[in-house]
Amino acid sequence: MKEARKLKKMSQEKLGLEAEMEISTARSRISQYENDAVNPPFELVCKFADVLGMPESYFYTRDDAFAEKILSLYRIETEGRSDNKKSKKRAD
């Protein structure tokens, strides 16, 4: 999770707040998740994924090379969806 957060140039506190965590505990909880002291519940991982623009599966993949492939595929798919939306708006 730390790598994903740093890719987005986001602080621990900002990630926590955007994922709707309590302001008083956001930074420390993110730190615990990043250091594998505590595992976040799936629903919270989904919020992190939305905030960071990544698929949930990225956070559950142990192999870093495979995680990068998941992220690449996700980006291709999301770019394709936005291109389709743009084309549809032009047709209207």
pLDDT at residue 56, as a whole number = 95
Number of domains in the chain: 1
Q: Which two tokens stand for residue 22?
A: 């309590």
Q: Identify the CATH number of the domain in which residue 67 sits.
A: 1.10.260.40
The domain containing residue 9 runs over which residues? Answer: 2-91
pLDDT at residue 76, as a whole number = 92
Helix ranges (H only) for the chain are: 2-7, 12-18, 26-34, 42-52, 64-91
In this predicted model, what pLDDT tens digit does every residue of 15-73 receive, in sequence order? 999 999 999 999 999 999 999 999 999 999 999 999 999 999 999 999 999 999 999 99
pLDDT at residue 45, as a whole number = 97
pLDDT at residue 86, as a whole number = 56
pLDDT at residue 79, as a whole number = 86
Q: Which pTM does this prediction carry?
A: 0.80
